[in-house]
């Protein structure tokens, strides 16, 4: 419940125009669909929304509130739907914040996954060591915030198993991912421990292709696509909010599908 602090001098029409301009930005479109409507915004004009920065701050507060609600509703034991190989999308689409010609070329022989933060074992991992860990497979749907979806077959290490291997503090709040394509994002610990959250090393039975995230991506069918980072180079377990590439531009942080 918002505390009413309505200033009769406020120009409500101007406030709504400012908010509409902000919501029209690409980084705010998810807000418009998932967190806020202009009709609802008209009830919030007592929040001292008198200029563009104030609109941004209000949107950010509502986004954080939306994250909290999604986190509260998240069931760490509920599985996303799975599919058969006959239902796979072929070809599985490429998607990134850059063109396919700009996919990074990472040398698997020199690759090291760096581990830091609230873990007892901070040794780096080679690609060969990661492939020797227990693997599983899933055929799940990738849901993009742009409105499309695709079904793919992913293989790799259950992330919960990996976190236990490195002695991660499983009571920590966040896990941050830095990537070889300059992308970064972060997730909550309950999602990290979800049985379908996977450090993905293969696609459709083959070594993960560069366009899908070689040498390793994070696969989470419980999250929207932008929460599934590719070309992962480091993992940090932390209690300090890490943000993310799109999240820092206004997208919801929790990003649950």
Q: Check pLDDT > 60 for residue 26.
A: no
* Mean of pLDDT values over 4-17: 44
Q: Check pLDDT > 80 for residue 25.
A: no
Q: Check pLDDT > 80 for residue 99.
A: yes
Confidence bin at 68 (pLDDT 50/70/90) = low
Q: What is the pLDDT of residue 52?
A: 57
- Separation of alpha carbons 32 and 54, rounded Å: 17
Of 30-44, 54-68, 182-196, the poorest mean pLDDT is in 30-44
* Mean of pLDDT values over 223-230: 96
Look-up: residue for tokens 């069931």? Answer: 75
Q: What is the pLDDT of residue 47?
A: 44
- Separation of alpha carbons 59 and 250, rounded Å: 8
Phi, psi of 237 (to 5 degrees): -95, 125
**138: CB partners within 8 A, 6+ apart:** 82, 153, 154, 155, 196, 198, 219, 221
Confidence bin at 43 (pLDDT 50/70/90) = very low
Cβ–Cβ < 8 Å for 139, 207: no
* Mean of pLDDT values over 170-195: 97
- When comparing pLDDT for 256 and 42, which is higher? 256
Work out the burial of residue 126: count CB atoms within 10 Å of its CB; fewer than 13 is exposed, 13-18 middle, 19 or more buried: middle
- When comparing pLDDT for 234 and 67, which is higher? 234
Q: Check pLDDT > 60 for residue 62.
A: no
* Mean of pLDDT values over 91-97: 96
Tokens of residue 134, six digits: 């227990």
Q: What is the pLDDT of residue 72?
A: 46
- Long-range residue pairs from 90-98, CB within 8 A, at least 24 positions apart, any chain: 92/142, 92/150, 92/152, 92/203, 92/204, 92/212, 93/148, 93/150, 94/211, 94/212, 95/144, 95/146, 95/225, 96/181, 96/183, 96/230, 97/183, 97/245, 98/181
Confidence bin at 76 (pLDDT 50/70/90) = confident
Nearest alpha carbon to residue 146 among 88, 92, 225:
225
47-52-53 Cα angle (round to 5) = 75
């Amino acid at each position: 419940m918002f505390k009413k602090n309505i200033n009769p001098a406020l120009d409500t029409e101007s406030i709504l125009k400012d908010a509409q301009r902000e919501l029209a930005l690409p980084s705010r479109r998810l807000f418009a669909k998932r967190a806020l409507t202009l009709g609802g915004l008209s009830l919030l004009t007592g929040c001292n929304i008198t200029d563009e920065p104030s609109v941004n701050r209000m949107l950010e507060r509502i986004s954080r509130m939306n994250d909290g609600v999604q986190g509260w509703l998240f069931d760490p034991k509920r599985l996303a739907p799975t599919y058969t190989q006959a239902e796979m999308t072929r070809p599985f689409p490429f998607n990134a914040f850059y063109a396919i010609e700009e996919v990074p070329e990472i040398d698997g022989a020199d690759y090291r996954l760096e581990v830091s933060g609230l873990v007892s074992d901070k040794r780096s991992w080679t690609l060969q060591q990661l492939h020797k860990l227990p693997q599983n497979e899933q055929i799940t749907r990738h849901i993009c915030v742009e409105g499309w979806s695709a079904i793919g077959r992913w293989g790799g290490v259950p992330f919960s198993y990996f976190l236990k291997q490195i002695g991660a503090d499983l009571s920590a709040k966040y896990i941050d991912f830095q990537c070889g394509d300059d992308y970064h994002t972060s997730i909550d610990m309950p999602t990290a421990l979800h049985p379908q959250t996977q450090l993905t090393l293969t696609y459709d039975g083959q070594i993960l292709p560069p366009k899908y995230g070689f040498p390793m991506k994070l696969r989470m069918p419980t999250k929207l696509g932008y929460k599934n980072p590719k070309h992962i180079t480091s993992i940090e377990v932390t209690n300090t909010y890490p943000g993310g590439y799109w999240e820092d531009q206004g997208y919801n942080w929790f990003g649950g599908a």
